[in-house]
Structure 1
């Protein structure tokens, strides 16, 4: 299943550790929030802006009051830390997540370049070939 979203979300997915957070889907995790409270629960979904959706979540506020939710949504800007389970290998999870979500560009149409770009590319290749001589 490929990562779906806007081009900006795909950029964040491939150029930040968002793919590590995405590999935590369907696992129970703890998230510390910016207001010193925290949420524990099963991570259901992560989008390209690190917004998190939980099911069966427990929200604990700063006075240690606990609130139970069937579904809970947290905006990415409110997150301070995401605790990675100790049983999970980070490097292995990153590798598996990126392998699973590789873009298959072979099925897409080849990119058509303008004549100007094609001419500039040929000129560049000619210049590079002359440098080798």
Structure 2
């Protein structure tokens, strides 16, 4: 998981349509906005709320006039449509994204917290005490068995 992304954003990416622009990272696409304008360019960054940062942009206004821009930021609430390029298979791209997430979760080793370490140490100490008591009990039983066999002989 990207350290810049909060857990809420991470959850939104993998549980909503916010994952669609994520599969389009570093790809050229067109985004239509609610104010009847369009933005064509390369998606550079997407956050969990589907806010998009684009580079090498051509802004197309309502009259069809084009203005080249270096960077452009789009709030999620302004997005009407995201045109997905034909060369991208959305199903496979989403599967790869989710497969990557599941592999990250599988490979992540849980860190031992202080509470867990203390519980494990207490458990080991208890096992040692029980083992010592059992050894002591067996020794005591063997002694009593040994003396009883001597007296009967």
Which TM-score applies when normalising by structure 2? Answer: 0.66
Kindly report the root-mean-square deviation, in angstroms, between the aligned alpha carbons of the 2 structures: 2.0
Gap regions ≥5 residues in structure 1: 114-133
Q: Is the contact between residue 20 and residue 93 of structure 1 (CA under 8 Å) also seen in structure 2?
A: no
Q: For residue 13 of structure 2, what is the aligned residue in structure 1?
A: 13
1: CA distance, partners of 2:105 / 2:48? 19
Q: For residue 111 of structure 2, what is the aligned residue in structure 1?
A: 109
CA displacement at 1:77 relative to structure 2: 0.8
1:65 paired to 2:65: yes
Q: For residue 77 of structure 1, what is the aligned residue in structure 2?
A: 77
Q: Secondary structure at the match of 1:101?
A: helix
Cα 1:78–1:36 change in 2 (3 A) is same
1: CA distance, partners of 2:26 / 2:13? 18
Which TM-score applies when normalising by structure 1? Answer: 0.75
2: CA distance, partners of 1:44 / 1:77? 18
Q: Which has the higher helix share?
A: 2
1:28 paired to 2:28: yes
Runs of 4+ in 1 over 6 A off after TM superposition: 110-113
Q: Secondary structure at the match of 1:85?
A: coil
1: CA distance, partners of 2:68 / 2:81? 20
Q: Secondary structure at the match of 2:92?
A: helix
Cα 1:14–1:110 change in 2 (3 A) is farther
Higher relative contact order (Cα pairs below 8 Å, separated by 6+ residues)? 1
Q: Secondary structure at the match of 2:111?
A: coil
